[in-house]
Amino acid sequence: MMKMTIRASARTIAQVLLNLSIAVLSAAQTSPSASAPAKPADDKPALRAFAAIHPIDVHVHVFKTDPAFQKMLQHLHVKLLNILVMDDTLSYRKQLQPQIDDAQALARSSRGHIALCTTFDPYKFESRSFTTDAIQQIDRDFAHGAIAVKIWKNIGMEIKNSSGQYIMADDPKFEPIYQDIASHGKTLMTHQAEPDVAWGPPDPSDPSWSYYQENPRWYVANQPGFPSKQEILEARDQVLSDNPQLRMVGVHLGSMERDLDNIASHLDKYPNFAIDTAARMEYLMLMPPGKVRAFLIKYQDRVLYGTDLDLPPDAKFPDALKDWQSTYERDWKFLATAETLTVEGQQVHGLSLPHRVLQKIFRRNAIRWIPGL
């Protein structure tokens, strides 16, 4: 749900130029026609190496498909976890059942390249049958192949109970839902809170800042009485300690995007906790590389590769695929090679992680933490 790294308006000039040159190169190398679908795995060493590992991207939002998209998935040997979210401000995310129906059809048509992470409707929180309805629906989705469940930041930051309090992830009404997910051996994906900058002063140097310019409702620094980030994440942590049998993946670096030490202490404290990298790779890229490298090697079993790439209902092919290919290429270069990248106007050196660590981050951890992938 965080679009800042891949939206044109959020890119630095350097990133735009890089993408432009990638697009021009792709067009030149693959076809005389600029509108023909690119052949991603054929023309770029980084994408070839990425494809060779049979990567899994555990965090995408895909609402449609296209022969060019399916072809890209097959060329890259990539598998996706398609995550559903209820968002009452977007017409195509307002209703749950149509999203589930569409996502299941999409998964069925993907020849094994797309799996489904379902969700439940937290806006029905005050309904008397909320908990049992949610469990029934989740169980139905599991029976039809869903392999995980997502909770989103609207829990903690948007939805209020009848007393006017923001509902938190550790609310007793949610507990039977978590127990149900654990009893089915499925995984809970949690996007709780937001990057620090949402609570802080305006900071154009923060990779997420442009997101709050485009989505001011999630910028809460000026809202008196709003829950603190710590309060929201403590509720999430309570779910972890109350449910040791529940596997939880904290998406977006577990919302601790500026603090590897804090992530590390969470991973040490909660053996049922892992993180994904979705839409937060730039934070890793802008940290001291030695520290990031040591962290990823030490916690090589706990970090899942995710992007937050999306294909909204109005996506236009094949242009929509350029973000996908350039993101996969950039992330591979950062983690797997010693190449120099330009990120937010800064020179960033690739981490050259050992191959066995790359295999875990890009594939094996996903299979272990989200069985069914």
Least Cβ distance, residue 103 to Zn ion (angstroms): 14
236: enclosing H helix or E strand: helix 229-242
By Cβ distance, which residue is nearest to Zn ion? 1
Sorted by sequence, the CB contacts under 8 Å of residue 33 that are 6+ apart come out as 27
- C-alpha 5: how far from its chain's center? 12
Residue (49 or 256) nearer to Zn ion, CB: 256
Angle between helices 321-336 and 67-76 (to 10 degrees): 10
Sorted by sequence, the CB contacts under 8 Å of residue 336 that are 6+ apart come out as 46, 49, 50, 350, 351, 352, 353, 358
Least Cβ distance, residue 102 to Zn ion (angstroms): 17
Tell me how far apart the alpha carbons of residues 276 and 362 are, in angstroms, rounded to a whole number: 10
Least Cβ distance, residue 350 to Zn ion (angstroms): 25
Least Cβ distance, residue 84 to Zn ion (angstroms): 10
Least Cβ distance, residue 96 to Zn ion (angstroms): 16
Residue (2 or 220) nearer to Zn ion, CB: 2
**Which positions lie near Zn ion, rule CB under 5 A?**
1, 308
User: ∠131-178-81 over CA atoms, to 5°?
Assistant: 110
Least Cβ distance, residue 310 to Zn ion (angstroms): 8
Residue (110 or 119) nearer to Zn ion, CB: 119
Residue (217 or 269) nearer to Zn ion, CB: 217
Residue (76 or 249) nearer to Zn ion, CB: 249
Q: What sign has the CA pseudo-torsion 146, 118, 10, 276?
A: negative
Kindly state the greatest CA–CA separation across the chain. 63
Written as one letter, the residue type at 18 is L
Residue (1 or 73) nearer to Zn ion, CB: 1
